[in-house]
């Protein structure tokens, strides 16, 4: 709903306020449609965030259990837009290092992947270990689609959108094919089958050869199976992956995709369907006995998640000059799962934050050289223990409690109450 | 004759998968967790064997018991530090912690022994047996590996079915709370399970690296995943199932690679797994547990 209001707001805002004035100082220039769209979004996002902050700053004795839902929704949009504004501002002032600029688009892609996986793992409650497979399908489809549209569509942003739509569609089809058999299984068996499907998808894309010439697209599953006419070129050549891609992904497009994903996921979660999905997660038998078709709803969540992952894949694939199928293996699926679980299952804001932080930790630990991945592993284990282990959690809360009472006593003494 | 040759090769790799899968299935059956670090314990076992062999010049088979002891200690330490505090919480939390442990072991190995592949000595230095005028080659290693796998399976089955500790393990696998009420030390039982699983991983590590004749920090991860699918294939939690699953996986992998397509052997292996699970959702020898309301 909020997303729709935004869309209505934006043209009006653009005309009335002339955001150029406000943002030109930050080094952001309003030229194309997507940036215009975003600046409107930023404006509304900041507005909502200020409202939220005001609410939070007011002293509240106790927040009612269910009242935070709407504010949380707003704060997800707010965090994304504030992050975007901060990054563009830093970029405008030239304060962002070159490597940091290179991380912006992959981070957006991984945020979308984490959000979409959270839909399956957190909301639908099924452990999926093959998410990177859908990402790969989306990436290669997107690359093919964008390359095909190269002559017909001049605007790179539009071409990226075409790539993302094609990637999302294809990944959705893959999700449907995978989902129908997979969702019949339960628990760990489901996990292992998603892992198997992810590896199958990777194995297929690893052997895919696609070429484009004047006669059209040529597909083959064997090396040398594609015979091109003169002037044609290979888009994907097997295990070597796709090469010679024109990088058209931008940070703006990435953020727009993140916002789109947040809108889709949050609206789904808070809708009738979302409640049905959560009911199936919490107790399948009880949900079925009140007339919810468990498989249908699980399949819906699974396919939507696959579509979003495919779009993220297209964004990721069109970001660099080349990409290999081995990138979309089981290791990447595991990485995304780590982002989701560490951020908190079912918590979208948590997914976004943990993705950004965990993606950047190894980069910030570069000064540790060889020790950085070990440190990453240690951080991962320690965070998991601190957030999940009942014993450690109790110790921590006991510690903070003692510190607080001690602090309070100290303060009271200083205040000189005389007792 | 070709078929027979590939069949024997398939049994060889299948026996290694089976030993790894036995470790997976023990831990899953009793602790109800997917131990993603199992593949990396394999790698540690192989490196330990390599270190002792290259330092003292002992034959590879003598290094197996040493590697087993070290991996057993490692397994107990990992379990105590990383998994025990999370007992009783979400299984996903334990899964992620296991992934963290796996990252840790891989990168620690990379730091100690370097990222490059290191040559690994053969387990048995003997000429392969030639049958049918040299058309069929059976390497002594393949026979030793198969024999070890069978011995391990028989020993494990006897242990689980005949000893007091084995009985405790079965009880914990069936119902942890009830077992605790009957006076079984659940934590100790799970620790013992991890110790056994890690010792098996050490054996598998030496056998695996003796087959591929090299060792690297990631040598265990892909066979680990394969063996995990093998354990699921045979019905996770079942000891004969793990053996059967491992053997079948090795055979399918080798035979499809030889006769159908080398490129798609991965895809075909996983496709067969999926089909089997759709027909028998609890695996080949797994027990189908009825859901109670």
The sign one gets for the Cα dihedral B100, B105, B106, B112 is positive
Which of A222, A254, A259 is closest to A237 using CA atoms? Answer: A222
The counts of H helices and E strands in chain B are: 11, 4
Q: Is B292's pLDDT higher than 70?
A: no
pLDDT at A34: 56
Least confident of A26-40, A182-196, A197-211: A26-40
Instruction: Give the Cβ contact number of residue A47 at 10 Å.
Output: 14
Give the rounded percent of residues in chain B with a pLDDT score beyond 70.
97
Give dist(CA B195, CA A241) in Å, integer.
42
Residues 6+ apart with CB under 8 A from B154: none
- What does the block give as tokens for B143? 């026979």
Q: How many Å apart are CA B134 and CA A309, to the nearest integer?
A: 53
CA neighbor of B224 nearest in space, from B9, B20, B63, B11: B20
What is the pLDDT at residue A43?
64
Mean pLDDT (whole number) for B172-201: 91
Q: Taking CB atoms and an 8 Å cutoff, what residues of chain B touch A120? A: none
Q: With an 8 Å Cβ cutoff, are B281 and A186 in contact?
A: yes
**Among the listed ranges A10-19, A272-281, B111-120, B262-271, which one has the minimum average pLDDT value?**
A10-19
Residue A24 banded pLDDT, cuts 50, 70, 90: very low
Q: Does B114 touch chain A (CB under 8 A)?
A: no
Residue B215 host element (H or E) = strand B214-215
DSSP letter string, A166-225: HHHHHHHHHHHHHHHHHTTS-HHHHHHHHHHHHHHHHHHHHT-EEEEETTEEEEESSTT-
pLDDT (0 to 100) of residue A138: 93
Q: Using a CB-CB distance cutoff of 8 angstroms, which residues of chain B are in contact with residue A378?
A: 100, 104
Phi, psi of A98 (to 5 degrees): -60, -40
Classified as helix, coil or strand, B130 is strand
> Are B92 and A121 within 8 A, CB to CB?
yes
- Using left for φ > 0, alpha for ψ between -120 and 50, and beta otherwise, residue B129 falls in beta
Cβ of B274 and A193 within 8 Å?
yes
Query: Confidence class of residue A270 from pLDDT cuts 50, 70 and 90?
Result: confident
CA atoms in the 13 A half-sphere facing the CB of B215: 28
Q: Which residues of A351-364 are buried (b: 16+ CB within 10 A; e: fewer)?
A: bbbbbbebbeeeee
Across the interface, whether the CB atoms of A189 and B232 are under 8 A apart is answered yes
- Token couple for B75: 């397994």
Cα dihedral B117/B123/B126/B128 (nearest 10): -80
The pLDDT score that the predictor gives to residue A10 is: 52
Residue B14's pLDDT is 92
Angstrom distance (rounded) from CA A16 to CA B92: 50
What is the maximum span of chain A, computed from C-alpha positions, in angstroms?
A: 95
Q: What does the pLDDT look like over B218-228, one tens digit per residue?
A: 888 888 888 88
Taking the CA atoms of chain B, what radius of gyration do you get in angstroms?
Answer: 19
Looking at residue A310, its pLDDT comes to 94
- Angle value at C-alpha B277, between B158 and A298, nearest 5 degrees: 130
Backbone dihedral angles phi then psi of residue A33, each to the nearest 5 degrees: -60, -45
Which H or E element spans position A234? strand A233-237
pLDDT bin (cut points 50, 70, 90) of residue B40 is: very high
Q: Write the residue in A185, A370, A391 that is nearest to B85 by C-beta.
A: A391
Residue predicted with more confidence, B187 or B123: B187
Across the A:B interface, residue pairs with CB atoms under 8 Å apart total 121
Distance, CA of A146 to CA of A138 (rounded, Å): 12
Structure confidence at residue A33 (pLDDT):
53
* CA dihedral sign, ordered A339, A343, A347, A349: negative
Cα–Cα dist A59/A402, whole Å = 23
CB A77 within 8 A of CB A48: yes
C-alpha distance from residue A196 to each of A171, B17, B29, B273 (Å)? 16, 17, 21, 8
Write the ipTM: 0.83
pTM: 0.80
**CA A253, CA A171: separation in Å to the nearest integer?**
19
Say if residues A195 and A333 touch (Cβ distance below 8 Å). yes
Q: Do B120 and B210 form a contact (C-beta atoms < 8 A)?
A: yes
Q: What is the DSSP letter of A323?
A: B
Is the pLDDT confidence value at A419 over 60? no
Nearest to B270 among A199, A387, A389 (CB): A199
Task: Tell which residue, A117, A107, A189, A162, has the closest CA to residue A340.
Answer: A117
Pairing of strands B214-215, B118-119: antiparallel
Nearest to A346 by CA among A295, A286, A270: A270
- Lowest mean pLDDT: which of A407-416, B18-27, B70-79? A407-416
Instruction: Identify the band that residue A35 occupies on the pLDDT scale cut at 50, 70 and 90.
Output: low
Asked whether the beta carbons of B18 and B149 are under 8 A apart, the reply is: yes
When CB atoms are compared, the residue of B92, B99, B111 closest to A334 is B99
Q: What share of chain B is helix, strand, coil (3-state, %, to 5)?
A: 75, 5, 25
How much is the mean pLDDT over chain A?
Answer: 79
Say yes or no to pLDDT of A66 above 70.
no
Q: Is the pLDDT of residue A154 over 90?
A: no
Q: Which two tokens stand for residue A382?
A: 């320690």
Q: Decide if B103 touches A, using CB distance below 8 A.
A: yes
Is the pLDDT at B129 greater than 50, yes or no? Answer: yes
pLDDT category, A306, cuts 50, 70, 90? very high
pLDDT at B34 exceeding the cut of 90: no
pLDDT digits (tens, 9 = 90+) for A116-141: 999 999 898 888 888 999 999 999 99
% residues pLDDT > 90 (chain A): 18
Per-residue pLDDT averaged across A190-216, rounded? 82
Q: Which burial class, exposed, middle or buried, applies to A58 when counting CB atoms under 10 A from its CB (0-12, 13-18, 19+)?
A: exposed
Burial of A367 (0-12, 13-18, 19+ CB in 10 A): exposed
Residue A139: the pLDDT is: 92
pLDDT(A166) > 90: yes
B267 touches A: beta carbon within 8 Å: yes
pLDDT of A311: 94
Residue A381 and residue B104: Cβ atoms within 8 Å? yes
Per residue in A345-372, pLDDT (tens digit) is 888 888 898 999 888 887 777 777 677 7
Which is nearest to B227 in space by CA: B260, B212, B205? B205
Q: How confident is the model at residue A279 (pLDDT cuts 50, 70, 90)?
A: very high
Structure tokens at A187: 């628990």
């Amino acid at each position: 709903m909020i997303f729709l209001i935004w869309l209505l707001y934006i043209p009006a805002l653009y005309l009335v306020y002339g955001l150029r004035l406000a943002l030109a100082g930050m080094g952001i220039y309003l030229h194309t449609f997507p940036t215009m769209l975003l600046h409107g979004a930023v404006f509304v996002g900041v507005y909502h965030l200020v409202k939220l902050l005001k609410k939070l700053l007011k002293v509240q004795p106790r927040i009612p259990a269910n009242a935070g839902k709407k504010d949380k929704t707003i704060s997800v949009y707010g965090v994304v837009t504030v992050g975007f504004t901060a990054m563009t501002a830093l970029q405008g002032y030239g304060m962002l290092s070159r490597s940091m600029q290179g991380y912006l688009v992959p981070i957006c892609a991984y945020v979308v992947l984490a959000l979409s996986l959270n839909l399956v793992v957190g909301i639908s409650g099924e452990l999926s270990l093959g998410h990177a497979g859908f990402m790969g399908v989306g990436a290669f489809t997107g690359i093919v689609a964008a390359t095909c549209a190269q002559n017909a569509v001049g605007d790179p942003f539009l071409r990226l959108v075409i790539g993302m739509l094609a990637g999302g569609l294809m990944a959705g089809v893959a999700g449907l094919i995978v989902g129908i058999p997979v969702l019949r299984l339960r628990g760990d068996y489901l996990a292992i089958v998603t892992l198997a499907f992810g590896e199958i998808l990777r194995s297929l894309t690893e052997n895919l050869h696609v070429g484009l010439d004047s006669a059209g697209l040529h597909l083959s599953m064997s090396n040398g199976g594609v015979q091109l006419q003169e002037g044609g070129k290979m888009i994907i050549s097997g295990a070597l992956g796709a090469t010679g891609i024109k990088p058209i992904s931008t940070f703006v497009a990435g953020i727009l995709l993140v916002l789109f994903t947040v809108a889709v996921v949050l609206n789904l979660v808070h809708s009738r369907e979302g409640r049905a999905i959560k009911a199936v997660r919490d107790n399948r038998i009880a949900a079925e006995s009140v007339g919810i078709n468990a498989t249908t709803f699980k399949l819906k969540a699974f396919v939507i998640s696959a579509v979003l992952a495919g779009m993220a894949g297209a964004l990721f694939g069109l970001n660099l000059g080349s990409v290999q199928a081995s990138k979309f293996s089981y290791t990447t699926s595991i990485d995304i799962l780590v982002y989701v679980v560490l951020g908190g299952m079912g918590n979208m804001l948590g997914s976004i934050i943990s993705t950004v932080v965990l993606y950047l930790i190894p980069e910030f630990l570069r000064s540790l050289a060889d020790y950085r991945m070990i440190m990453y592993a240690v951080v991962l284990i320690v965070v998991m223990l601190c957030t999940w282990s009942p014993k450690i959690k109790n110790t921590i809360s006991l510690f903070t409690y003692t510190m607080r009472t001690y602090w309070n006593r100290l303060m009271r003494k200083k205040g000189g109450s005389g007792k | 004759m070709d078929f027979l040759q590939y069949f024997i090769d398939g049994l060889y790799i299948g026996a290694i998968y089976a030993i790894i899968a036995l470790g997976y299935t023990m831990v899953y059956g009793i602790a109800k967790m997917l131990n993603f670090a199992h593949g990396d314990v394999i790698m540690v076992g192989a490196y330990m064997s390599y270190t002792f062999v290259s330092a003292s010049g002992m034959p590879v088979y003598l290094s197996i018991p040493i590697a087993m002891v070290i991996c057993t200690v490692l397994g107990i330490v990992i379990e105590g530090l990383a998994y025990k505090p999370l007992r009783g919480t979400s299984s996903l939390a334990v899964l992620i912690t296991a992934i963290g442990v796996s990252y840790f072991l891989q990168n620690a190995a990379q730091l100690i022994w370097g990222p490059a592949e290191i040559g690994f000595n053969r387990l048995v230095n003997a000429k392969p047996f030639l049958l049918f005028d040299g058309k069929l080659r059976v390497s002594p290693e393949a026979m030793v590996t198969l024999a070890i796998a069978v011995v391990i399976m028989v020993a494990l089955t006897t242990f689980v079915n005949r000893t007091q500790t084995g009985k405790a393990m079965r009880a914990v696998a069936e119902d942890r709370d009830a077992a605790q009420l009957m006076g079984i030390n659940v934590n100790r039982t799970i620790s013992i399970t991890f110790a056994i699983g890690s010792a098996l991983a050490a054996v598998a590590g030496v056998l695996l690296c003796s087959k591929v004749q090299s060792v690297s920090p990631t040598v265990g991860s892909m066979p680990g995943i394969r063996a995990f699918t093998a354990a699921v294939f045979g019905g996770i939690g079942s000891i004969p199932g793990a053996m059967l699953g491992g053997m079948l996986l090795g055979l399918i992998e080798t035979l499809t690679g030889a006769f159908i397509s080398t490129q798609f052997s991965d895809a075909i292996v996983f496709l067969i797994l999926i089909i089997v699970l759709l027909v028998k959702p609890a695996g080949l020898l797994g027990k189908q547990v009825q859901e109670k309301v």
